[in-house]
Amino acid sequence: MKRSIIIIAVLTILVLPLCALESAFELGVNLSYNNAEDVTEQGGYSGAFNLDRLAIGLEMRGNISNFQTTIAGDITILDTQTLMFSGVFGAGISVDLFKYLKFGITTGPKVSYIYRDEDKSLSNDGSDEVPDNFFDALYMGKFHHRIMLDILAGPVMSIGVAYTLPTDFSLKEGNWDRIIPGRDDFNEGQIAVCIQMKVF
């Protein structure tokens, strides 16, 4: 019962701005670079820059005044037979700076889906425990902080960068002391270039 209440509360926070008439809804694409040494159990990456760390994805943002929700997903090619779809579902704040800049920070759980020819599974950031469904994945997902800085290129378009910072906190564990990133977490982040278009 407690888990159901938490999940409903999280989904309400994420969806509310997208449904409100007075909100602004944005849709865009992003190209990200994962700085983590070990993204999956398949092994680590080598070299200062590796094309295998690149991922392309979609991003949706909903705004009510200074309150913002984000859904940022990407696709990563792990090998010739394996794709990973990942998404961070976050909520936070967004502030306009000097009319041409916008700064935002959101936080929320990350959910990953591994697709192979013979093995399709909902993952949880490499955890051995596999959730039964999407809502369990949200409940088990490690929280990620997403820091965004956008340049307003016109009334309906913005170009910016975002940095996604992982933590060890999850709603299931309830380890609130781990929601603040540690020193090692800053070396495991993901930087992205984002292009957003205002839909309504």
Q: Reply yes or no on whether the pLDDT at 69 is more than 80.
A: yes
The structural domains of the chain, with segments of one domain joined by +, span: 2-42+55-198
Q: What is the pLDDT of residue 121?
A: 56
> What phi-psi label fits residue 183: left (phi over 0), alpha (psi between -120 and 50 degrees) or beta?
alpha
Q: Which residue has the higher pLDDT, 117 or 153?
A: 153
Strongest mean pLDDT among 5-14, 71-80, 161-170: 161-170
For residue 15, what are the contacts with CB-CB under 8 A and spacing of at least 6? 69
The span from the CA of 130 to the CA of 26, in Å, is 32
The token pair at 7 is: 């999940």
Tell me which fold the domain 2-42+55-198 belongs to. Porin (2.40.160)
Q: What is the pLDDT of residues 80-101, one digit of tens each?
A: 677 778 889 999 999 888 878 9
How large is the average pLDDT for residues 54-68? 86
Beta bridge partners of 91: 69, 107
Residue type, 181: P
How large is the average pLDDT for residues 160-188? 86
